[in-house]
Amino acid sequence: MRLDMIKKALSNPLALAGFIIILTIFLLAMLAPIISPYDPDEINVKAILLGPSWSHWMGTDGLGRDVLSRMLHGGRISLLVGLVAVGISTAIGIVLGALAGYYRGWVDTLIMRIVDVMLSIPSFFLILAVIAFLTPSIINIMIVIGLTSWMGVTRLVRAEFLSLSEREFVQASRTLGAKDARLIFTHLLPNSLTPIIVSAVLGVASAVLMESGLSFLGLGVQAPQSSWGNILTDGKEYIQFAWWLSLYPGMAILITVLGYNLLGEGLRDALDPRSGANR
């Protein structure tokens, strides 16, 4: 991504706001071991369900654990799951989409029929079905979300390859005897990166939501490790009188997803010459 494109993306107020939000959340999550006021797993029976105060800025939970400390450490897990899951799904999508768009014929037909079958199954229920046969863990969650979220990237890359394959510079390289690998990695894939980057940024938001939903249902990150989803689960038992247990993790999920969506839309406006902002 060129420097001028980055500057153009960040000149968009919404994209800049999304970038600042994501950067702030990342810094807080990465610095969690340093800035957390308490041990996130420390149980204090004398501080059970205390409301927000100077001692506990976000209150405490049903075991007397500091919610702010758990939120900071939980952010690391939620963001890690989102990034790794999107990395897996994007890698699979690029490979399959490139094969379908470049070779066409029966390869394209086979891959796209698999995509159609996968898309016909609701993603969340597919993930629930797979998780039911596995031990809930961070690694399993990342892999399962990644392996069930590649279809959109595949269709996107395929469409880009089909379009780019008809361009003059690709046809000229093919006429000059360029091998398939050279055409794919030198001409087609680099020119398809813009929509892939935008899709990946937006995909992180979806993965964070997915992980939070699974953890909320008890099928994601397991105690004593904290994530925003299982912090939210702890709060549902006390929602009538301990509002802070539901409010803060819910707001963290909302703000994170909003930040990624704003950043993704800003990148699309800046990097895609076909977008309305660039006409």
pLDDT by residue (tens digit) across 122-134? 877 878 777 777 7
Tell me the pLDDT band of 86, cut-offs 50, 70 and 90.
very high
Q: What average pLDDT score do residues 143-165 get?
A: 90
Q: What average pLDDT score do residues 164-179 get?
A: 78
- In angstroms and rounded to an integer, the radius of gyration of the C-alpha atoms of the chain is 22
Give the pLDDT of residue 175.
78
Q: How many helices (H) and strands (E) does the chain have?
A: 13, 0
Calculate the alpha carbon distances from 176 to 116, 165, 169, 182, 183 in Å. Answer: 36, 15, 11, 12, 11
Domain boundaries, the chain: 77-271
Tell me the pLDDT band of 185, cut-offs 50, 70 and 90.
confident
Give the pLDDT of residue 194.
82
For residue 149, pLDDT beyond 80 = yes
Tell me the pLDDT band of 277, cut-offs 50, 70 and 90.
very low
Q: How many CB atoms lie within 10 A of CB 29?
A: 19
Q: What average pLDDT score do residues 257-272 get?
A: 83
Q: What average pLDDT score do residues 237-264 get?
A: 89
| Backbone CA torsion sign across 43, 49, 53, 59 | positive
Query: Between 3 and 28, whose confidence is greater?
Result: 28
C-alpha atoms less than 13 angstroms from C-alpha of 260 in its C-beta half-sphere: 24
| Backbone CA torsion sign across 144, 268, 254, 75 | positive
Q: Which of 5-9, 138-142, 275-279 has the highest mean pLDDT?
A: 138-142
Tell me the pLDDT band of 278, cut-offs 50, 70 and 90.
very low
- As a whole-number percent, the residues of the chain with pLDDT over 70 amount to 94
Q: What average pLDDT score do residues 264-275 get?
A: 71
First to last CA, the chain: 20
Q: What is the pLDDT of residues 12-50, one digit of tens each?
A: 788 888 899 999 999 999 999 999 889 888 888 888 888
- As a whole-number percent, the residues of the chain with pLDDT over 90 amount to 30
CATH superfamily of 77-271: MetI-like (1.10.3720.10)
Query: Between 113 and 9, whose confidence is greater?
Result: 113
Q: Can you tell me the distance from the alpha carbon of 29 to that of 259, in angstroms, rounded to the nearest whole number?
A: 15
Q: With CA atoms as reference, report the closest residue to 107 among 154, 174, 139, 64.
A: 154
3-state secondary structure of 178: coil
Element of type H or E holding 272: none
For residue 3, pLDDT beyond 70 = no
Tell me what the pLDDT averaged over the chain comes to.
85
Q: What average pLDDT score do residues 179-204 get?
A: 85
Give the pLDDT of residue 260.
92
